[in-house]
Every structure is written in C-alpha cells, then in structure tokens.
Amino acid sequence: MDSHQLLIDHISEIVSLDDSIKSLIRERFIPRHLKKKEMLLYKGDVSHHMRFIAEGCLRNYNIDENAQEHILQFAVKGWWINDLYSYLTETPATFFIQALEDSVVLQISKNELTKLFDEAPALERFYRIKFENAYVALQNRTIHGMSKPIEERYSDFRNTYPEIEQRVPQFMIASYLGITPESLSRVRKRMSSK
C-alpha cells in the first residue's frame, strides 16, 4: 500500500475525511527515506515536523551525563514519532530519534500543519485525540514503571508491543525497561523455564 494511503486510513479510523482533505494530505505530507541507523532528529535541534511512520522502525532516546542511553519509545509503521515538547514549543529537542531499520516517514512542517487545520478541522480533532492518548500512555508508563517487578514490566511490554519485540535487539528492550541487558537475559531465562 502506498504511504499516503496508510496515513489516510490511519486518520480515518478516528475522524472522517472528505476527498479534498485526502488530497491535501497527499500533497503536504512529504516522504522522507532513512537508512538503518540514520538520525531523524538530534538532541539540541528543534523538531519542526510532525512525523508518521509509513515503513520501518525507529527509536526515541536520550543520552545521559554518564553516556548511558535510555530508550523512551520505539515506533513502527502506523505510529507517530517526535520530540513533542520540542515541536510544540519550538525549543531544542531533549532526545535523539534514530531509524533502527530502513524506514519511510511522512512529515509535515508545523507551519503547513497549522494551515491545514484551518482547512480541515477534522484533522485538528484527530491530533487533539492523539495528544490526549500520548499523555495518558506516558502517564501509565510512569505509574507502572514505578512499582511493578521487572518480570511483569517485560511481559507487559511483550503484550503491548508484540511486533516490536521481534524486530528490536534485546539490549535496547532492556534500555527501554530501564534494566541492564544481563538482567533481561536472566528474566527471559526464568520466564521460559516455567
């Protein structure tokens, strides 16, 4: 399926779009192709685009003072990826975004998107709902990440993102869960033995 059709179907799951809006979406969302390991956004740069993944897999991560990587989000086809705060406030990004596989993202600049909102209120509604979801997803992660034992967090991850588990190296999943690769390896062993 072509990238734009995927995006249109994705949006249409939440709001209905008439044909003129669909055309606008096809015009204004620009495909960008990324090689594996290519960076989509650097920490410190301003994120000027809203980005939809049409193909591939990316990660959103931070590098702390001790040069330790911490993965915040994985995203695959049909997801959105961004440093939302940077995008919203037009301040330097606090994360990196990198392709983990050859990927295609459809991106639209904030200016263009703002204009599009005037022409297509349905689209604005779509984003409002997306933002709400983003907020609550983050909130759930904050709460649950807090208390639950690793074993449980790992199986939650597997259940929530079955596609991702297959495609992402294990040490990155460990980073996402906030544990060492060694610990994850042991958790897996424990879990498989029963």
Partner DNA sequence: ATGACTTCTTGATTTGAGTCAATGAATTAG
Partner DNA sequence: CTAATTCATTGACTCAAATCAAGAAGTCAT
CB 81 within 8 A of CB 29: no
The torsion angles phi and psi of 114, rounded to 5 degrees, stand at -60, -40
Site for a copy of itself contains 169 (CB under 8 A):
no
Q: In terms of Cα–Cα distance, which of 78, 124, 132 is closest to 105?
A: 78
Query: Which residue stretch of 34-42, 112-120, 128-136, 157-165 sits at the interface with a copy of itself (rule: CB under 8 A)?
Result: 128-136
Binders of DNA among residues 158 to 177 (CB under 7 A) are: 169-171
Per CB under 8 A, the list member of 33, 36, 37, 70 interacting with a copy of itself is 70
Per CB under 8 A, the list member of 143, 167, 182, 191 interacting with a copy of itself is 143
Reduced to 3 states (helix: H, G, I; strand: E, B; else coil), residue 151 is helix
Binds 189, which of a copy of itself, DNA, none (CB < 5 to 8 A, cut-off by type)? DNA
Query: Which residue stretch of 9-17, 46-54, 68-76, 184-192 sits at the interface with a copy of itself (rule: CB under 8 A)?
Result: 68-76
Q: Say which amino acid occupies 30.
A: I
What is the distance between the alpha carbons of residues 138 and 142, in angstroms, rounded to a whole number? 6
Site for DNA contains 185 (CB under 7 A):
yes
Site for a copy of itself contains 62 (CB under 8 A):
yes
Binds 146, which of DNA, a copy of itself, none (CB < 5 to 8 A, cut-off by type)? a copy of itself
Site for a copy of itself contains 97 (CB under 8 A):
no
- Owner of token pair 């008439």: 18
What is the pairing mode between strands 103-109 and 69-76? unpaired
Distance of CA 174 to the CA centre of its chain: 17
- Owner of token pair 């620009």: 30
Site for a copy of itself contains 136 (CB under 8 A):
yes
Question: Residue 45: CB partners within 8 Å, gap ≥ 6?
Answer: 86, 92, 93
What are the residues binding a copy of itself (CB under 8 A)?
Answer: 62, 64, 68, 70, 72, 84-85, 88-89, 94, 131-132, 134-136, 138-139, 141-143, 145-147, 178
Q: Which residues bind DNA (CB under 7 A)?
A: 149-151, 169-171, 178-189
